[in-house]
Amino acid sequence: MKTVDRSLRTASRRVVLCALLAAVTLVLQLAMSPLPNIEPVSLLVMVYALVFGRQVFYIIFPFVLLEGLVFGFHIWWVSYLYVWPLWAAAVLLLRRGGDRPPMVWAVVSGAFGLSFGALCALPYLAGGPWAALSYWIAGIPFDLLHCAGNFFLALTLERPLCQLLKRLREG
């Protein structure tokens, strides 16, 4: 019976932690929203994937749902259903090779920021290829800001956040 109680407690703790991290992600995104395309979500998804592995998806989908509830379920929201899981999957694949220096994560995170607009343009293909292309081209200046923001946030905060979350995970 104690084994059942312990596994139920562990599962409950995991659910609460994932919900809490999804909410923290949204709150931090809202707090940084005055900055143009400088956002913590890319960094946090990367760190969550590095620390929690595949459980990152249990954080991403509640976050995406919360975004829809806060900002509305428009066409941009559809892209968040695949962009954030795709980013997490890329991080999970890259972490397979072992521990990587912060510069590697900064470069990869910057590249993700640069490609964000192209990835988010895919739902606009419903309006035809020109709609998606014009959406992507119009957003390139924002993708450049997203790239720079992701690079510097990952370079400076990846290690400290990973250490903090590892302590939270274990304690």
User: What pLDDT was estimated at residue 109?
Assistant: 98
User: What pLDDT was estimated at residue 171?
Assistant: 67
The whole-model pTM stands at 0.93
Structure tokens at 91: 């991080």
Q: Please tell me what DSSP assigns to residue 38.
A: -
In the chain, what are the domain boundaries?
2-170
List % helix, strand, coil for the chain (3-state, nearest 5).
85, 0, 15
Half-sphere CA count of 86, side-chain side, radius 13 A: 11
Q: Nearest 5°: phi and psi at 74? A: -100, -175
Q: Has residue 1 got a pLDDT over 70?
A: no
